[in-house]
Amino acid sequence: MSRQYFGTDGIRGTVGQAPITPDFVLKLAHAVGRVLKKTDAKPTVLIGKDTRISGYMLESALESGFNSAGVDVVLLGPLPTPGVAYLTRALRASLGVVISASHNAYPDNGIKFFSAQGTKLPDSWELAVEAALLDPPTWAISKDLGKSRRLDDAAGRYIEFAKSTFANDLTLKGLKIVVDAAHGAAYQIAPKVFHELGAEVISIGCSPDGLNINDGVGATHPEALIRAVKANHAHYGIALDGDADRLQIVASDGRLFNGDEVLYLMVNERLQRGEKVEGAVGTLMTNMAIEVALKAKGIQFVRAKVGDRYVLEELEKNNWLLGGESSGHLLALDKHTTGDGIISALQVLQAVQRSGKSLADLLGGVTLFPQTMINVRLKPGQDWKVNPKLAPAQAETRATAWQLRPHFDSRQRHRARRARDGRSAKC
């Protein structure tokens, strides 16, 4: 059975168009509830959301659908996606549900799920839900209906968890940080995390109105953060996306560091502390320079399909801890079960504070190769690998890459040697 509704990260689409309609979402929650009840007599589900205006409508539909199947619901209100994952595990819930379309604009929304362990669910579970959607509903009788309640301190619990991932012997005192929450789920949480760890915080993108999520701010629009960092003479800028599972970070000079560079930094920081790191996972889109730099340090590198769920699968298969995507989805499984923009930022700042070096200095051993991403639209189900119109471009790209690789490999080794010797890494 092929998936009809689930994509790489739940179900997503334009609000008011199938499948993001209240009637379908109610039916979806009922089907999920029936799947849960096959293994749990009285399931409890947590529901969190970002700041889109459609979140109210979809939250109500989900709540009714779960209750109708005999599932209890705990409403968390606006909360980052990784916050829902954390609380699902901490509160021993059966399932976590997030209403969000991540980095998309407000007309879109979506539904994604976390297991009781706070991890993304496998394809087999999604197929079971899609099969249940084909069956007629089985409404619970009145005495078996689910109940709902609201968890008032959800944000506070998650703030304390995020802070706990930062080293106890370190502080952010002395740092001025611009925090851009994309008018999304972390608009109250992210500034508090960095402030309570000692930083002077300047907030942008923290005034949601239901319609402005990801609108010219956040991880997908870092230009606003770059301007704010320069204007306020800040040390660093941190940009999240609408559901705060993605990170972009900016240095005082306005230089933007992407997810590939942060992944390298997290690996290297652990090596500098004497920790063993056997390997790391990127995706098909990870810049080749990261693979070259990690292998030069004896670190195995594996590429997964695009999507943090596939990065997680490779990490679990290899029993590794660190992985991520260029877009800023980063996984540190010794800190959290899923990608978390706030926790990823704390890992970067921890490396900076512990070493006494700037972010640019810490990344002196790696220079990204020139890379361009181009989206090509294909019909659903079409295999791009055998597309005759793409074949010439693929062949040309491969030929050019192999011609340039020796030059960039040599340049990378040269920079790494100079960095180790304490000299300028410029060339």
SS3 38: coil
d(CA 75, CA 63): 9
> Who contacts 89 (Cβ-Cβ below 8 Å, separation ≥6)?
116, 117, 118, 337
Handedness of CA 313, 316, 319, 323 (dihedral sign): positive
Handedness of CA 417, 421, 425, 427 (dihedral sign): negative
d(CA 52, CA 59): 11
Catalytic residue among 94, 102, 115, 344: 102
Known active-site residue 326: no
Tell me the chain's radius of gyration from C-alpha atoms.
Answer: 22
Cα of 258 vs its chain's centroid, Å: 13
Q: Are 323 and 331 in contact (CB under 8 A)?
A: yes
Q: Which two tokens stand for residue 270?
A: 């652990």
Q: Are 99 and 110 in contact (CB under 8 A)?
A: yes
**Angle formed at CA 295 by CA 294 and CA 301, multiple of 5 degrees:** 75
Q: Which two tokens stand for residue 66?
A: 């779960």
The catalytic residues are 102
